[in-house]
Amino acid sequence: EKERLEIWKASKEVGKVLKSGVTNLRDLRNKCVQALGYADYFSYQASEYNMSTDELMTATRGMIKDIWPLYRELHTWARYELAKKYKKPVPDYLPAHWLPNRWGQQWSELVKVEGFNLDPYLEKQGAEWIVKKSEEFYKSLGFSELPKTFWEKSSLYPVPPNANYKKNTHASAWHIDNDKDVRSLMSVIPNTEWWGTALHELGHIYYYISYSNPDVPIILRSGANRAYHEAFGTMMGMASLQKPFLQGLGMMDKDAKINDTLMLLKEALEYAVHIPWGSGTMTEFEYNLYAKNISPDKYNKLWWELAKRFQGIEPSEPRGEEYCDAATKTHINDDPAQYYDYSMSNVLLFQFHQHIAQDILKQDPHATNYWGNKEIGNFLQTVMKPGASVDWREHLKKSIGQDFSAKPMLEYFKPLMAYLQKINKGRKYTLPEQPDFNY
């Protein structure tokens, strides 16, 4: 635990260096869009969804409310589980360094499922296999092969130790010319996390390729909204870890006995846990940063107030204003005021996945195999092709007959909810029954 704390603290040192830059960027970003008539940068980013700041905050807060009962169970489960692991009394709030991610944005590594560990297999296959196999997955659905220039001009693997340059190790995908030049920046190492990330980035790449067609003017070559852009690749990543998919591809033994409830728990720790972080801590912070212009001497106080309120996470030592823990998240610096894209995409991807499982594959959403299904490919291409030339809400209604809703996600995790309530019976809950937005 001591070592974890040291590593956690080291990972936050960079915030000090970035703090004044973030304030400078905030001011520049606000001034730029104010010159165009927007109130501030936050409202400018929300306008891409055809929403005002208030509408957007209502939507992100709505997602937190929807997921809250499940999150509260997961939070309680994690506190007791981790206290056992670290042989400590059960804390009211999760010490940040106990979690398997330095922002507590997803906790799936807390669960080890017997018979399910892809790391040794992936390690044997190597990093290049991961990217190639990801492309093959998309091709199996009917997507085209990636352009030659993707392979020539992307930077996909870690920087060699003796290189005379650095790169951001956080993965991204780029549409260089709004046409055929698509590239990705990754640092793929052969493990399960990068398997998901490679599929995520190729989701962006195939979206770029799909809407780069003569029917879509250059200026509308982007996602129906930014959450759509994040959703497809993450959905492919989720589908790629389901048992029938893995068994079909020979990545898991045909007769492997896997505990389905633990798999579901693992998925909830990935996708549901992300919502109070993405819609809560990150979005509320950036709302205050851009729309409320909070003063730099309050950044860290606000950051930790939000982490406690929405994620139920606390630092184990006071974090004064000499730190800027928000700035340790790359998106605060270089992907500003749009992190809610990810939480919205998690909600959206369960809507798309439910449609694919039930209406196309006729399979249980918990146990699908997308591989090789051209109908899924056709469906995805139909959704992707028009880019931003459609209204995202109408487009959703047209493609799956639904409005934006967390229902499919909640339905997916329903069996888990019952399991958690049973395990947590008699335990102390420290998060309120409803999230509290008054701060």
List contacts with ligand X8Z (CB under 6 A): 105, 171-172, 197, 200, 342
Q: Residue 371: exposed, middle, or buried by beta-carbon count in 10 A (0-12, 13-18, 19+)?
A: middle
Selection from ligand X8Z, Zn ion, none that 197 binds (CB < 5 to 8 A by kind) is: ligand X8Z
Q: Which is nearer to ligand X8Z, 85 or 167 (CB)?
A: 167
The CB-of-105 to ligand X8Z minimum distance in angstroms stands at 6
Token pair in block for residue 360: 């196309």
Integer Cα distance of 88 and 86 in angstroms: 6
- Picking from 153, 138, 210, the residue whose alpha carbon sits closest to that of residue 179 is 210
Q: Which is nearer to Zn ion, 187 or 259 (CB)?
A: 187
The CB-of-140 to ligand X8Z minimum distance in angstroms stands at 23
The CB-of-233 to ligand X8Z minimum distance in angstroms stands at 8
Selection from Zn ion, ligand X8Z, none that 29 binds (CB < 5 to 8 A by kind) is: none
Residue spans of alpha helices (H) in 116-190:
119-125, 127-140, 148-153
The CB-of-122 to ligand X8Z minimum distance in angstroms stands at 17
The CB-of-146 to ligand X8Z minimum distance in angstroms stands at 17
3-state SS string for 326-350: HHHCHHHHHCCCCCHHHHHHHHHHH
Q: Which is nearer to ligand X8Z, 330 or 421 (CB)?
A: 330
For tokens 């439910």, name the residue. 354
Q: Which is nearer to ligand X8Z, 172 or 247 (CB)?
A: 172
The CB-of-171 to Zn ion minimum distance in angstroms stands at 8
Q: Which is nearer to ligand X8Z, 105 or 154 (CB)?
A: 105
- Count of residues engaged in binding Zn ion, rule: CB under 5 A: 1
DSSP string, 13-80: THHHHHHHHHHHHHHHHHHHHHTTT-SSHHHHHHHTTT--HHHHHHHHHHHHHHHHHHHHHHHHHHHH
Maximum alpha-carbon separation in the chain: 63
Residue nearest to Zn ion (CB): 230
Scanning residues 225 to 244, which ones bind Zn ion (CB under 5 A)? 230
Site residues (vs Zn ion, CB under 5 A): 230
